[in-house]
Amino acid sequence: MPQPVSLTTADGLTLEGELAPATGPARGGVALCHPHPQFGGSMRSLVISALFDALPPAGFTCLRFNFRGVEGSEGAYGDGNLERVDAEAAVAPLADALGQPQLTIVLAGWSFGADMALSVRAERLGAWLAIAPPLRYVHDLDRLAADPRPKLLALAQHDEVRDPNEVAAIAEGWANTEVHVIGGASHFFMGRTDRLVELAHQYLDRLAARGS
């Protein structure tokens, strides 16, 4: 059963969130970053909710939260510059909830949230899962490209926000990076969330096996 949590950002804001503990022994943790706040994005958005529901039964503790200015979170929209501070604020509470330093923490996001996730370089962070990232808001893209930690970019074949071929071309040559295109999917993954969840499971299973 999800539990309400509060996150505190480096600039002193309180963000609302929910924590769903793993069913059985935890195999890792995933923090979920939602789509653009100015276009209706929240922690209850479709893809975020699908992962938040599906991953705990597979052994992955999940934390989702609202960016600053969204619903019950303090502050106001930060133009993509301050939301990465919010994303980073999710890492330590998730690590505390896991309580096992050997377990991998993955920062995941969808759309704008994917760019925010990819902007975080916290030491405790073990990997990234970026779903339909536009790669327009990522902070220090060159540093991300060189980072040796695992990255999975899950792209939509018919993405209306950014051509997946453009994203794949940008990510070509990045260290330790997989790029998967989900056939038949739009940016919103309507009717394809099952395939997206399957891909996430496979990736997280590999990370868990590596860390065990």
| Architecture of the domain defined by 3-211 | 3-Layer(aba) Sandwich (3.40)
Q: What is the distance between the terminal CA atoms of the chain, rounded to a whole angstrom?
A: 26
Domain residue extents for the chain: 3-211
Residues 6+ apart with CB under 8 A from 105: 28, 29, 30, 31, 91, 94, 95, 98, 124, 125, 126, 127
Helix (H/G/I), strand (E/B), else coil: 202: helix
CB 170 within 8 A of CB 144: no
Determine the distance from the C-alpha atom of residue 113 to the mean position of all C-alpha atoms in its chain, rounded to a whole number: 7
CB 64 within 8 A of CB 17: yes
For residue 8, give the H/E element and its range. Answer: strand 3-8
Give, for all 212 residues of the chain, the pLDDT tens digit: 899 999 999 999 999 999 999 999 999 999 999 999 999 999 999 999 999 999 999 999 999 999 999 999 999 999 999 999 999 999 999 999 999 999 999 999 999 999 999 999 999 999 999 999 999 999 999 999 999 999 999 999 999 999 999 999 999 999 999 999 999 999 999 999 999 999 999 999 999 998 64
* Rounded-to-integer distance, Cα 117 and Cα 138, Å: 8
* Rounded-to-integer distance, Cα 27 and Cα 201, Å: 12
The model scores a pTM over 0.75: yes
